Amino acid sequence: GAVVSQHPSRVICKSGTSVKIECRSLDFQATTMFWYRQFPKQSLMLMATSNEGSKATYEQGVEKDKFLINHASLTLSTLTVTSAHPEDSSFYICSARSGLAGGNLDEQYFGPGTRLTVT
Amino acid sequence: QKEVEQDPGPLSVPEGAIVSLNCTYSNSAFQYFMWYRQYSRKGPELLMYTYSSGNKEDGRFTAQVDKSSKYISLFIRDSQPSDSATYLCAMSGSSASKIIFGSGTRLSIRP
């Protein structure tokens, strides 16, 4: 199946600093990428949807100035958590859909996740 | 009320048993129903994908959707220790819409 990678897999940062997480589709082009956040024993919550070359669409309650998303190419999206606080500590998972016009649900592939710990 | 409800478990069964995992939902607009498997500290992996009501079988896995009851199930036959993971139900209103996930059921298969 298609492969989505994330880097780094784990990151620890100090409160007030920024951290960037990369998401890459390795063997397909992704016109649409998604960023999710998952707290322990909880579901994946969609944070934002990004389409290559355009601004991301954020879900209600997600601060767009805090979680900066850039989808600069068909294989790369980045999530930058700015001025991180301990409550931002979570498991961040990206996902990418292959195919044109946003792709289909069974063509949506998930990355392995990034564990962010803010101290 | 959450759009998708799923018992978090944990559920522990002996190897070889039949496992039944379930979710209920409230949004009648959902048309696409998925089951994902997520191992610890990994991203979800799509197991089953169905459209509307009915059954779908793939090897040891069977997915059932009952739209009239807003109830979906995943059955695992001849369960193996390697099936131990968290299983997430998920659904969407259209093939291009966002996916809404259940909270996941932690499953453990005892050798």
pLDDT tens, residue by residue, B81-97:
999 999 999 999 987 78
pLDDT in tens, B25-68: 999 999 999 999 999 888 999 999 998 888 999 999 999 999 99
Cβ partners under 8 Å of residue A55, min gap 6:
none
Chain-chain contact of A108 with B46 (C-beta, under 8 angstroms): yes
B31 and chain A in contact, CB less than 8 A: no
Q: Is the model's pLDDT at B70 over the cut of 70?
A: yes
Confidence of residue A99 (pLDDT cuts 50, 70, 90): low
B25 and chain A in contact, CB less than 8 A: no
A60 and chain B in contact, CB less than 8 A: no
What per-residue confidence (pLDDT) applies to A52?
82
Torsion on CA atoms B36, B39, B42, B45, rounded to nearest 10: -20
Nearest CA distance, B79 vs chain A (angstrom)? 23
Higher pLDDT, A104 or B27: B27
Cβ-based contacts of B11 with chain A (< 8 Å): none
CA distance A56 to A78: 11
Q: What is the mean pLDDT of chain A?
A: 91
Q: Is the CA virtual torsion B8, A42, B86, B52 positive or negative? A: positive
A117 and chain B in contact, CB less than 8 A: no
What per-residue confidence (pLDDT) applies to A72?
82
Q: What mean pLDDT do residues A30-45 have?
A: 90
Q: In whole angstroms, how far apart are CA A45 and each of A48, B55, B90?
A: 9, 27, 11
Determine phi and psi for A105, rounding to 5 degrees.
Answer: -60, -35
What per-residue confidence (pLDDT) applies to B40?
86
Cβ partners under 8 Å of residue A63, min gap 6:
none
Q: Is the model's pLDDT at A3 over the cut of 70?
A: yes
